[in-house]
Amino acid sequence: MSWLPGGKNQSLEELMKLGNNVEVAVEPLFFMYPLMITIGGFLAIGLIYLRIWKRGIPLSNMVTLTYIALPAAVIGASFFGKLGGFNYGWQIWNYFMFWRSGMSIFGGMVFGSFAGYIYLRQVSYKLQISIWVYLDCIVPAILIAQALGRWGNLFNHEILGNELSVEELWKIEWLPNWIKFRLYPMYVPDENGISEIVKGYTFHEPLFLYESIANLILFLVIMFLVPFLFKLFSPKPWKKNPHAFPIKGVAISKEELLSIPVQRELDLKTDGSRYWYTKANAWKRAYYLYEADNKLAEQYIIANDDHEKIQEVASMEYENIKGKFRAKIKLTSDKQKIKELKKQRSIALRPYRWDRFKVVNSLTKDSKLLYNLNNPDGYKVMHSGVQASLYLMGYSIIRMSLEHQRTGFDLTFKFSMAANYIFLVTVFLVSIFALVLVQFIAPYKWRQPEWLYEKSY
């Protein structure tokens, strides 16, 4: 414990009894703060690239997205993390020094999401890939960066929980020395961002550790537990059609395998005379690789195009009618005649008044036929956007559960616990709305033919 005062191996109680007569030991491993954040960021990017690659999405666009969204997220996290906590005056550049204390995950989300959305919106239309597919690949991976980045706060002596009295030190005694002897605030930043060494040791609960573990658990729930639950409660392909999707318990001869249209075949397991799929491959073959009837798919494409033309035609007719009546009104000065023409114009415009708007056209759209066409057996599927929505929901719950332990300086809205909870509750409610939308509404209303969602169709 050479980094403690005088290099002595003192106990927590002894350090606390020193009172305010001694300055706390300065952390020698302060460089671990930016290092842990950087490592966490690279791990998250690696996972994102892996998920994108597995979906068959071009990685070149993700490289560009990284160059756009990552710097924007870092800038946003630094700006919001320091805003309200310091008074830098005209020295605005200090707010963007991300290697210093004060980083807000929500600030990173806002800036990174906004920059990423602008780019991905263009890419999604060009490649015909739902933006929800990108979000599901990207957003849950942020939890890895958060879980690891929180350990940087240990070496920066930040994100500490409730202060502990001597009688409460048992709450951290179970921790290894290299953690528990760092659970004291080291600097007190003033409003100008100048930090002073704290005098006197006070030890705190390891809030950084609670958040790190919670983020890791949330990551495992989103990535593995939730998809497993969907498959658990879904009809099983090998039960609905054992001849098309045989598994080991119902293995059949190769001649008995029924042919169904799929995008590509998967490897079969065999003992020499009997053949079967692994359950994972049976599920892939039944849903993800199932290929809908081309003729029916073409009919839906035509119906979809016809629906979108309604808005175009209505918009053109609306403007044409307005133009014709405008010309007629200009040709007369008779007030009664003008009044009659306006009445006729209103009646003529009525059929096109609402259909001319893209929003109305979107709300009246129906993609049920496309959805049922590509999932005729009614498998229960976790739709695109669910994982991204669960991240928002889960992380807001984590923060609401632990927020009371944060100091006023560590809050998203500095020194205002009420504003913080209002913000977190708002995020939670928005995430519920998004979850319901992407799982139960969007799949049946706004799917586009030949776009990539959970599968390619």
Q: What does the alpha-carbon distance between residue 151 and residue 159 come to, in Å, rounded to a whole number? A: 10
Asked if residues 306 and 322 have their Cβ atoms less than 8 Å apart, the reply is: no
Length of the chain: 457
Identify the CA nearest to 77 among candidates 109, 29, 117.
Answer: 109
CA dist., res. 140 & res. 393, Å (int): 11
What pLDDT shows up at residue 3? 61
Taking alpha carbons only, the member of 371, 382, 423, 433 closest to residue 399 is: 423
What residues have CB less than 8 Å from 234, skipping those under 6 apart?
Answer: 379, 380, 381
Query: For position 6, what pLDDT does the model report?
Result: 43
Residue 395 is predicted with a pLDDT of 95
Continuous segment of H or E residues that includes residue 313: helix 294-330
Torsion of CA 119, 120, 124, 130, to 10 degrees: -160
Cβ–Cβ under 8 Å, residues 373 and 443? no
Which one, of 420, 427, 390, lies nearest residue 405 by Cα? Answer: 420
- The residue ranges of every structural domain in the chain are 31-161+206-231+383-445, 234-288, 294-374
Q: Residue 97 is inside which H or E element, if any?
A: none
| pLDDT at residue 71, as a whole number | 84
Closest to 396 (Cα-Cα) out of 215, 226, 225, 243: 215
- CA distance linking residue 142 with residue 254, whole number of Å: 45
Between CA 317 and CA 356 the distance in angstroms is 9
pLDDT for the residue 314? 93
Question: In whole angstroms, how far apart are CA 131 and each of 62, 92, 96, 134, 451?
Answer: 13, 34, 29, 5, 10
pLDDT of residue 457: 65
Q: Name the region of 132 (left: φ>0; alpha: ψ -120 to 50; beta: rest).
A: alpha
* pLDDT, block means (10 residues), the chain with 457 residues: 59 87 85 88 92 88 84 79 64 65 73 86 89 93 93 89 92 91 82 70 94 97 96 92 85 74 78 86 88 85 88 93 91 88 92 91 90 91 96 96 85 80 94 96 90 81
Angle at CA 205, nearest 5°, toward 203 and 209?
125
Taking the C-alpha atoms of residue 253 and residue 243, their distance in angstroms, rounded to an integer, is 9
Give the pLDDT of residue 187. 80
Task: Give the tokens for residue 370.
Answer: 């496309």
